[in-house]
Structure 1
């Protein structure tokens, strides 16, 4: 099968997220890396792109040059990944969608709800995929959780509890560290720090697994380090449209926590627990029975889990493989679109622009609620109310 052509904006040398995308996109052989604008410094970006194997004429100096260079090529890229600083996501994604490209955008998709609604509308009008990289939803056992909930193994879902708490910004002496400082600066980060950075991952995973959308929330947000304007810890109470109660804690000052993304789901007839730091095990407690451990890669799991498990049982699964599952979903969607067929339902799980929009609406709702002593606020984007 002919490989799809893939391009990347951002994610240059020394980037935290760039290598994970390049590993993920290339893992299954579905995409060929053919074009990029990797750095805000044009010459460094061009040179790095060529060291990664790009042809000189497709190692671009900036995203505008890449857009002009790719738009009229017969062999232009099928998918563009946007992995630039947050404030640039909207403009780049918008311009590439308008030019007829499929886009995978890093989170947050936009900086405002209005921008998010515009992206959703543009993607629909153009008939193009706009995906958002909530990459943790690519883990095999997260998808198995979703399948178990959907087929009724837990009965009606009563409660979901999500956490994304780490301690890597707990040192007040790091206040002037540029890699940390920008995250808590409203001029660069917007209205929220920790919730916009990590909390929306936990929120998306909760919504993804239970198959319900957030309706309203009440938030307690604090800056545990006094010099910070934006929050470094938040506790959020949530209500979903299917009646499920949600609890979400996110923090950057939880010393002793490393990554800290966990999800627990409690229904009428059972409960599930999963942690991103131990992704090979899913803990399942049926009502009135013994605790069971479901292992990634074992037999008789759901089609969604089987499709996204590449290595044999007992071997570690990591973040680049979860990213690879998002890219695998997108490859299936793009190929199905090219020939006008339906895509494999087990692959139809990639996060959409609508998910990015809902996340941004939640960010603003958390900021509003936190500023008003936890008042309950509507967390839905206006276009979905």
Structure 2
């Protein structure tokens, strides 16, 4: 398979997310790290790029330089990842799509629903891929859950229970810590804090696994630490277009919880349970049967799970390899487009701009419902109503 050229914006030295993207893009050899604008400090970004092996003329000081530098190159990047602060995602993603590049954007894709609709329209009009990094959907057993639901193993889905709760912002003494404070400041974070940061991962995973979209929701949001303007805990009830009922809890003050992303799906003929902190096991309970533990890498799993599993059974496989599956999907999609063929169906699982838009609409719906003491509101973006 021919290697594709990849570029990264953001994710500089000391970044939490940068290493996961660099590892994920490199694992399968599908992408060569060719260009970057890695830091808001131009010189620091250029220096770090060179340290990582980028050519001096492709280690850029900012994304504007990178766009102009790559636009005219015969070996220009095939895919750019946007891993910058949230408020910059729309501008950068829009500019690169307009210039004909494929984009993988960190979530949230945009800050407003209107911006999200513009990105969806632009992606469709240009024929360029705009993916959103809901990276946890790259886990092999999450993909197997999706396959089990799609083939009818659970029958009609009745109930989905999703959680993403941690306790890392539970210390009120961190009120002035700049790494924490911005998340609860509307001027920097928008209309939502914890739901926009973590809750949308759980909500997207519920849709990804069930194949159903959220239509309306009711939210109870609270700032358990009174100095915070935005919520640090939320409970969301939702309804899906295929008839499933949903419950979602997300929190940043749940002391003792570490990562806390879990998903349970209950149907007419069986139930499934998966947790990100134990990603190698999927618990399956068929109706009138016995509880079974499905192990990642075992024989007889779905093509989607087999394709997403790299490490032999019994060994840990974590978040960077889940990210790698998103990159592997994108490589297949880009090559299929270049070669004028259909993509492998087992690889056609990367989250789209449409998913990013639905998440942004849900964020605004949760904020609206929370302020209205749980009033049920439409969770769909206007263009999908």
Q: Fold-level match, TM-score > 0.5?
A: yes
Q: Where in structure 2 are there 5+ consecutive unaligned residues?
A: none
Q: Which residue of 1 aligns with 2:78?
A: 78
Aligned to 1:308: 308
1:224 corresponds in structure 2 to: 224
Counterpart in the other structure of 1:241: 241
Deviations, residues 59-109 of structure 1 (Å, cap 9, x unaligned) = 000000000000010000000000000000000000000000000000000
Q: 1:159: Cα distance to partner? A: 0.1
Aligned residue runs from structure 1 range 163-202, under 5 A: 163-202=163-202
Instruction: Give the whole-Å Cα distance in 1 for the aligned partners of 2:19 and 2:350.
Output: 20
Offset at 1:154? 0.2
SS in 2 for 1:115: helix
Match of 1:327 in 2: 327
Note the alpha carbon deviations across 1:238-296, whole angstroms, 9 max, x for none. 00000000000000000000000000000000000000000000000000111000000
Residues matched between the structures, number: 385
Aligned match of 1:342: 342
Counterparts of 1:61 and 1:22 in 2: how far apart (Å)?
19
Structure 1 residue 322: Cα displacement: 0.1
Q: Match for residue 38 of structure 1?
A: 38
* Secondary structure of the structure 2 residue equivalent to 1:351: coil
Instruction: State the shift of 1:382 in Å.
Output: 0.1
Q: CA deviation at 1:383?
A: 0.1
Aligned counterparts of 2:220 and 2:355: Cα–Cα separation in 1: 23
Deviations 1:325-361 (A, max 9, x none): 0000000000000010000000000000000000000
| 1:112 and 2:112 correspond | yes
Q: CA deviation at 1:155?
A: 0.2
Q: Residue in 2 aligned with 1:251?
A: 251
Write the distance in 2 (CA, Å) between the matches of 1:197 and 1:313. 32
**Partner SS, residue 246 of structure 2:** strand
CA displacement, residues 98-137 of structure 1 (integer Å, 9 cap, x when unaligned)? 0000000000000000000000000011000000000000
2:224 partner SS: coil
Partner secondary structure for residue 176 of structure 1 = coil
Q: TM-score, normalised by structure 1?
A: 1.00
Please give the secondary structure, in 1, of the residue aligned with 2:365: helix
Deviation at 1:2, TM superposition (A): 2.0
Which residue does 1:145 correspond to in 2?
A: 145
Please give the alpha-carbon distance, in whole angstroms, between the structure 2 residues aligned to 1:316 and 1:267: 29
Q: In 2, distance between residues paired with 1:318 and 1:69? A: 35
Residue by residue over 1:126-170, the C-alpha shift from the partner in whole angstroms, topping out at 9 and shown as x without a partner, is 000000000000000000000000000000000000000000000
Aligned to 2:68: 68
Residue of structure 2 in register with 1:260 after alignment: 260
| CA distance, structure 2, for counterparts of residue 342 and residue 2 of structure 1 | 17
For the aligned residues, what is the CA RMSD? 0.3
Q: Which residue of 2 aligns with 1:299?
A: 299
Q: CA deviation at 1:370?
A: 0.1
Cα drift, residue 199 of structure 1 = 0.2
Shift of 1:200: 0.2
Structure 1 portions without partners, runs of 5+: none
